[in-house]
């Protein structure tokens, strides 16, 4: 159920200045070197392992297979 109704009107200036504090954070990427190429990936996320044709084989995390695709 919703909270209590407002006790008084909030001005447009206060509302907008409060909303202005919400900011989108940039995505953190880590650089790793694989087969002589620098690959950027998100930390703490499983990545998809593909074969030479580009077929997705499985998900890998910290060098271990964690799930089938």
Task: Judge if pTM exceeds 0.75.
Answer: no
pLDDT at 69: 82
With contact defined as beta carbons under 8 Å apart, do 29 and 40 qualify?
yes
Nearest Cα neighbor of 42 from 54, 30, 51 is: 30
Ranges of beta strands (E only) in 1-69 are 30-34, 37-41, 47-50, 56-61, 64-68
pLDDT at 1: 62
CA angle 17, 24, 19 (to 5 degrees): 15
pLDDT in tens, 10-69: 999 999 999 899 889 998 998 988 788 898 888 888 888 889 898 999 999 888 999 998
Domain coordinates in residue numbering, the chain:
29-69
pLDDT at 33: 87
Rounded distance between C-alpha atoms, residue 53 and residue 30, angstroms = 25
């Amino acid at each position: 159920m919703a909270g209590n109704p407002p006790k008084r009107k909030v001005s447009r200036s206060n509302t907008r200045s409060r909303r202005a504090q919400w900011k989108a954070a940039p995505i953190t990427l880590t650089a790793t070197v694989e087969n002589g190429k620098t690959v950027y990936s998100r930390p703490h996320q499983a990545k998809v392992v593909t074969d030479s044709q580009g077929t997705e084989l499985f998900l890998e995390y910290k060098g271990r297979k964690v799930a089938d695709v």
